[in-house]
Amino acid sequence: MKQSGRNIKRRLTLTLLGNHISRLKHFRGHGVHSPYVYNLVRKVFMLKQLPVGREHALYHSLIERDVPQRRAVELQNLYYHCAAENFSIDNAPNICQMHFITATLPVSQYDALYTKAAQSGTTLVILSPYLNREHRAACTELLMRHESTSVDNRGYIIFFNNHLPKQHYKL
């Protein structure tokens, strides 16, 4: 049975609206039952500027890779919040505490980098997870396999590979 363009548009609108409503319940940390994720929301995602007097190497590296300024600020603040000492971007996460994957890296490499990060206990951040169907499918598969806490903040997904329980938050 063929559907009309109006019905398809209505279903798409309801799907997108449902996604926004499911994320709205965690707005500003409301309804987040994990103290760790609540602190992320309040002390990282809600900050709109970089702290004064600290090095901003990650921020500048992300800006050079065309990451929007708002996302780069959030990720730099996440880096500080996690007390990470080093990072890598689009490289194999060998000896780093946080690894960032930008949209320029081929999706075919996501699985190998995720596996390596999980084995080494590295926090993995995938930027632009909803760029297209291929990115979305790869990120959904990784979320299903993930054994610890993950946070989906629309512009990126954070995979914590540490002692946190298996939970997934859509903010």
- Binned at pLDDT 50, 70 and 90, residue 25 comes out as very low
The pair of structure tokens assigned to 116 is: 């390596």
Q: pLDDT per residue over 63-107, tens digit each?
A: 999 999 999 999 999 999 999 999 999 986 667 899 999 999 999
Domain ranges in the chain are 26-170
Does the reported pTM lie above 0.85?
Answer: no
58 contacts 75 by C-beta, under 8 angstroms: yes
The predicted structure's pLDDT at residue 147:
92
Q: CA-to-CA distance for 22 and 24, rounded, in angstroms? A: 6
Mean pLDDT value across residues 3-28? 51
The pair of structure tokens assigned to 151 is: 């946070």
Q: pLDDT per residue over 39-71, tens digit each?
A: 888 888 888 899 888 899 999 999 999 999 999
- Binned at pLDDT 50, 70 and 90, residue 142 comes out as very high
Share of the chain above pLDDT 90, in %: 54
- Element (DSSP H or E) covering residue 84: none
The predicted structure's pLDDT at residue 153:
86
105 contacts 92 by C-beta, under 8 angstroms: no
Q: CA-to-CA distance for 168 and 22, rounded, in angstroms? A: 12
- Binned at pLDDT 50, 70 and 90, residue 24 comes out as very low
Write phi, then psi, for 51 (nearest 5 degrees).
Answer: -65, 145
Quick one: CA dihedral 76, 23, 42, 32, positive or negative? negative
